[in-house]
């Protein structure tokens, strides 16, 4: 958008001046060639149809229709009784030159990474060439059907007008390239980003629900693959953080969790498939703890010569993957790589936007209301210091007010800490949850008991972020509403399986207010987004347990609780 506005601002005025000069030349030629009334009538018609090409030359509809209308008026004038002197033909310079300068202007904001044909790289010249061909065809037909047009003079006039028009198109293209090179620094990336985000928004609105969910796409892919190839265990994995580490998006198996190998260098079959972009078979298990002989198949997911991920299949049967089965499995993955890559990119854009918004909110709270509350607290302290010794009632009221301000400041500090808490790419999910639980526990006087179990494999970044937010909400509910003394936090992460459990010995869910019930709704929505299940249950002898489970067999978005009922 900024790219187009900048060019319009720099091109529109010179273009209008050149068109005005050309129109003045045509008007004078008409007045000297044909009767004044007819010359003024034709020039008036030409002026009206030239409005779109003059004031909106870059518009993909009005600009092009305006240029076509200008050519049509010129051809119509040549066919009439006043066209024998061909006085309006030179105006063809305007639509041909305008097409070269402004034609296809919006298309130039397409991402530079997309493969582009020769025609798409020169949209202005392409449009000008098509208009020139149309002019030649229309004027040639005119010479055959119009009784007012004949002779070699007409042919010379047409050739001269079209030739000058093509020269104007070449000059227009040169100016277009020159002005493009003088674009303000940094404008081009923003224009490309705008085009990409606009396309992504349009695609996201047109697609049915759930089709931009990487987990859902991976699960559907595994269902199709299991119909084409036998598999006792299967998984879909993608790269994590641009390195040699993979993350499991979805897996299937007979009631078991498989500790798939997620390091490319540690498994030759995975590394060869990723690098060679060809399906490979083997006889060794693809799990870290796998023993014995199995049939294994690894199918790459390739989108535009980029390896997006891998599909792993294992069967306990010997020789389960002959060449025809491998071909069927590869055929089943057709189109899945592009859908999965689109979903991953969309998820990354959402995560970046969410992270930036959380950081912005944290800055605004810190620089705004937090500072104002601190100043209010200082003012109350000053007022307390100025009170006479016998003003006990006023001192008590001010002290109560000071305690409330202190509580609000503490709440704000914890909210800031929550907004700024993220899963570190090196620390992991359990570390982030443990740090948050310790910080909140120390500020609220809770005894925190941690049970952490996280292997070397990682969950997708978006999934880790949602699990962290669920844990934060559960811990916050225990601190605010439960009036608990102890907090138990359990984290088990073995991708794609994960279990986060937060328990307290407080009053229970039934004692929570509207804020607490709203927090339960938020946790349920977050669990649904990552295809997990949320369970809220009373803790014996008193308290509440909130658990979110992420496992292949879970029904997404499930909320189970006896205490949520009002």
> DSSP secondary structure string, 367-408?
HTHHHHHHHHHHHHHHHHHHS-TT-HHHHHHHHHHHHHHHHH
Question: Does residue 131 have a pLDDT over 70?
Answer: yes
Higher pLDDT, 552 or 474: 474
Q: What are 201-219's pLDDT values in tens digits?
A: 676 666 655 567 888 888 8
Segment 326-338 shows an average pLDDT of 88
Structure confidence at residue 151 as a pLDDT band (50, 70, 90): low
Tokens standing for residue 473: 């909400």
Rounded CA gap, 148 and 151, in Å? 10
Last residue of a domain, one of 340, 374, 395: 340
Q: What is the pLDDT, as a whole number, of residue 242?
A: 63
Q: Find the largest Cα–Cα distance for the chain.
A: 117
- Do 170 and 311 sit in the same domain of this protein? no
Q: Which long-range contacts (CB under 8 A, 24 or more apart) does 247-250 make?
A: 247/457, 247/458, 247/459, 247/460, 247/495, 248/457, 248/459, 248/495, 248/496, 249/214, 249/215, 249/218, 249/309, 249/460, 249/496, 250/215, 250/218, 250/219, 250/221, 250/222, 250/496, 250/552
Structure confidence at residue 494 as a pLDDT band (50, 70, 90): confident
- Do 235 and 306 sit in the same domain of this protein? yes
Q: What is the pLDDT, as a whole number, of residue 556?
A: 42
Query: What is the pTM (predicted TM-score) of this model?
Result: 0.55
Last residue of a domain, one of 340, 367, 382: 340
Segment 406-434 shows an average pLDDT of 82
* Domain CATH code at residue 433: 3.30.565.10
Segment 541-551 shows an average pLDDT of 87
Q: What is the pLDDT, as a whole number, of residue 112?
A: 41
Segment 541-565 shows an average pLDDT of 62
- Do 167 and 232 sit in the same domain of this protein? no
- Do 66 and 135 sit in the same domain of this protein? yes
Q: Is 42 inside a domain boundary?
A: yes
Range name among 187-196, 348-357, 424-433 with the lowest pLDDT average: 187-196
Range name among 229-238, 399-408, 420-429, 457-466 with the lowest pLDDT average: 420-429
- Do 176 and 120 sit in the same domain of this protein? yes
501 CB neighbour count, 10 Å cutoff: 18
* Domain CATH code at residue 280: 3.30.450.40
- Do 556 and 441 sit in the same domain of this protein? yes
Question: Does residue 136 have a pLDDT over 50?
Answer: yes
Question: Does residue 252 have a pLDDT over 60?
Answer: yes
Structure confidence at residue 490 as a pLDDT band (50, 70, 90): very high
User: In the chain, pLDDT over 70 holds for what percent of residues?
Assistant: 80
Last residue of a domain, one of 278, 306, 340: 340
Structure confidence at residue 48 as a pLDDT band (50, 70, 90): very high
Structural domain boundaries, residue 324: 228-340
Q: What is the pLDDT, as a whole number, of residue 63?
A: 84
The residue count for the chain? 566
Segment 412-429 shows an average pLDDT of 79
Q: What is the pLDDT, as a whole number, of residue 563?
A: 38
Structure confidence at residue 164 as a pLDDT band (50, 70, 90): confident
Segment 27-48 shows an average pLDDT of 88
Higher pLDDT, 153 or 67: 67
Range name among 118-127, 308-317, 322-331, 533-542 with the lowest pLDDT average: 118-127
Tokens 């049970």 locate to 451
DSSP string, 454-499: E-S-B--HHHHHHHHHHHHHHHHHHHHTS--SEEEEEEEEETTEEE
Structure confidence at residue 117 as a pLDDT band (50, 70, 90): low
Higher pLDDT, 198 or 221: 221
Which residues partner with 263 through β-bridges? 245
Q: Is 439 inside a domain boundary?
A: yes
H-run or E-run covering 301: strand 293-303
Q: Is 523 inside a domain boundary?
A: yes
Segment 491-499 shows an average pLDDT of 86
Q: Is 370 inside a domain boundary?
A: no
Q: What is the pLDDT, as a whole number, of residue 549?
A: 92
- Do 40 and 184 sit in the same domain of this protein? yes
Rounded CA gap, 277 and 263, in Å? 17
Segment 470-491 shows an average pLDDT of 88
- 3-state secondary structure labels for all residues of 329-351: HHHHCCCHHHHHHHHHHHHHHHH
Question: Does residue 508 have a pLDDT over 80?
Answer: no
Q: How many domains does the chain have?
A: 3
Range name among 13-22, 159-168, 175-184, 509-518 with the lowest pLDDT average: 509-518
- Do 126 and 56 sit in the same domain of this protein? yes
Higher pLDDT, 179 or 417: 417
Segment 532-555 shows an average pLDDT of 81
Q: Do 263 and 280 touch, CB atoms closer than 8 A?
A: no
DSSP string, 59-82: -TTHHHHHHHHHHHHHHHHHHSTT
Q: What is the pLDDT, as a whole number, of residue 192?
A: 63
In the sheet where 306-315 sits, what is the strand order?
A: 246-253, 233-239, 306-315, 293-303, 280-284
The three-class DSSP label of residue 305 is: coil
Q: What is the pLDDT, as a whole number, of residue 486?
A: 92
Structure confidence at residue 85 as a pLDDT band (50, 70, 90): low
Tokens 């119509």 locate to 76
- Do 258 and 163 sit in the same domain of this protein? no
Closest CA to 431 of 249, 439, 239: 439
Q: What is the pLDDT, as a whole number, of residue 311?
A: 92
Q: What is the pLDDT, as a whole number, of residue 488?
A: 94
Question: Does residue 280 have a pLDDT over 50?
Answer: yes
Q: What is the pLDDT, as a whole number, of residue 557?
A: 43
Q: What is the pLDDT, as a whole number, of residue 108?
A: 42
Structure confidence at residue 566 as a pLDDT band (50, 70, 90): very low
Q: What is the pLDDT, as a whole number, of residue 562?
A: 40
Q: Exposed e or buried b for every residue in 102-134, given b needs 16+ CB within 10 A?
A: bbbbeebbeeeeeeeeeeeebbbbbbbbebbee
- Do 176 and 233 sit in the same domain of this protein? no
Q: What is the pLDDT, as a whole number, of residue 186?
A: 55
Rounded CA gap, 129 and 297, in Å? 53
Q: Is 276 inside a domain boundary?
A: yes
Q: What is the pLDDT, as a whole number, of residue 267?
A: 81
- Do 6 and 147 sit in the same domain of this protein? yes
Q: What is the pLDDT, as a whole number, of residue 195?
A: 65
Average pLDDT, the chain: 79
The three-class DSSP label of residue 113 is: coil
Q: What is the pLDDT, as a whole number, of residue 111?
A: 41
Q: Is 220 inside a domain boundary?
A: no
Beta strands 447-454 and 486-494 are: parallel
Is the bond into 81 cis (omega within 30 degrees of 0)?
no
Segment 437-450 shows an average pLDDT of 88
Q: Which long-range contacts (CB under 8 A, 24 or more apart) does 165-168 make?
A: 165/92, 165/93, 165/95, 165/96, 165/97, 165/128, 165/132, 165/135, 166/96, 166/128, 166/132, 168/93, 168/96, 168/97, 168/100
H-run or E-run covering 8: helix 2-33
Q: Is 120 inside a domain boundary?
A: yes
Alpha carbon of residue 44 to chain centroid: 49
Q: Is 347 inside a domain boundary?
A: no
- Do 7 and 148 sit in the same domain of this protein? yes
In a 13 Å sphere around the CA of 502, the CA atoms on its Cβ side amount to 31
Range name among 176-185, 240-249, 382-391, 445-454 with the lowest pLDDT average: 176-185
When computed from its CA atoms, the radius of gyration of the chain, rounded to whole angstroms, is 35
């Amino acid at each position: 958008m900024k790219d187009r506005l900048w060019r319009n601002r720099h091109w529109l005025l010179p273009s209008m001046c050149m068109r005005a000069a050309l129109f003045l030349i045509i008007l004078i030629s008409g007045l000297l060639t044909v009767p004044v009334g007819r010359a003024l009538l034709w020039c008036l018609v030409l002026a009206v149809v030239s409005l779109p090409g003059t004031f909106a030359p870059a518009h993909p509809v009005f600009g092009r229709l305006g240029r076509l209308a200008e050519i049509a008026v010129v051809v119509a004038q040549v066919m009439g009784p006043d066209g024998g002197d061909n006085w309006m033909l030179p105006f063809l310079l305007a639509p041909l030159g305008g097409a070269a300068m402004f034609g296809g202007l919006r298309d130039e904001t397409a991402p530079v990474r997309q493969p582009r044909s020769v025609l798409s790289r020169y949209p202005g010249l392409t449009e000008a060439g098509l208009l020139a061909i149309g002019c030649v065809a229309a004027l040639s037909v005119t010479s055959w059907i119009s009784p007012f047009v004949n002779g070699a003079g007409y042919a010379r006039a047409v050739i001269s007008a079209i030739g000058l028009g093509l020269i104007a198109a070449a000059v227009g293209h040169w100016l277009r390239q020159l002005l493009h090179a003088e674009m303000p620094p940094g404008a081009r990336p923003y224009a490309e980003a705008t085009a990409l985000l606009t396309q992504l928004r349009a695609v996201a609105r047109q697609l049915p629900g759930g089709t931009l969910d990487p987990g859902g796409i991976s699960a559907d892919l595994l269902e199709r693959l299991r119909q084409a190839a036998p598999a006792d265990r299967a998984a879909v994995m993608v790269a994590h953080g641009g390195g040699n580490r993979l993350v499991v998006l979805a897996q299937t198996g007979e009631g078991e969790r498989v500790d798939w190998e997620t390091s490319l260098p540690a498994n030759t079959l995975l590394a060869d498939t990723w690098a060679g972009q060809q399906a490979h078979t083997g006889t060794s298990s693809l799990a870290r703890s796998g023993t014995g002989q199995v049939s294994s198949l690894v199918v790459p997911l390739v989108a535009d010569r980029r390896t997006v991920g891998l599909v792993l299949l294992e069967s306990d049967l010997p020789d389960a993957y002959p060449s025809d089965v491998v071909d069927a499995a590869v055929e089943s993955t057709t189109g899945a790589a592009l859908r999965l890559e689109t979903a991953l990119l969309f998820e990354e854009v959402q995560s970046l936007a969410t992270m930036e918004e959380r950081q912005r909110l944290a800055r605004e709270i810190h620089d705004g209301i937090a500072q104002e509350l601190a100043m209010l607290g200082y003012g109350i302290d000053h007022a307390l210091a100025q009170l006479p010794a016998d003003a006990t009632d006023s001192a008590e009221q001010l002290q109560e007010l000071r305690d409330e301000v202190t509580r609000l400041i503490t709440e704000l500090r914890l909210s800031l800490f929550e907004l700024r808490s993220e899963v570190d790419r090196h620390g992991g999910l359990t570390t982030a949850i443990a740090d948050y639980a310790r910080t909140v526990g120390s500020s609220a006087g809770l005894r925190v008991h941690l049970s952490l179990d996280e292997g070397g494999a990682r969950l997708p970044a978006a999934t880790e972020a949602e699990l962290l937010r669920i844990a934060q909400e559960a811990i916050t509910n225990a601190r605010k509403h439960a009036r608990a003394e102890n907090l138990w936090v359990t984290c088990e992460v073995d991708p794609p399986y994960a279990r986060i459990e937060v328990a307290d010995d407080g009053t229970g869910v039934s004692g929570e207010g509207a804020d607490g019930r709203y927090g339960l709704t938020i946790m349920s929505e977050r669990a649904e987004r990552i295809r997990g299940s949320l369970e809220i249950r009373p803790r014996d002898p008193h308290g509440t347990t909130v658990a979110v489970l992420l496992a292949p067999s879970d029904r997404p978005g499930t909320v189970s609780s006896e205490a949520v009922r009002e």
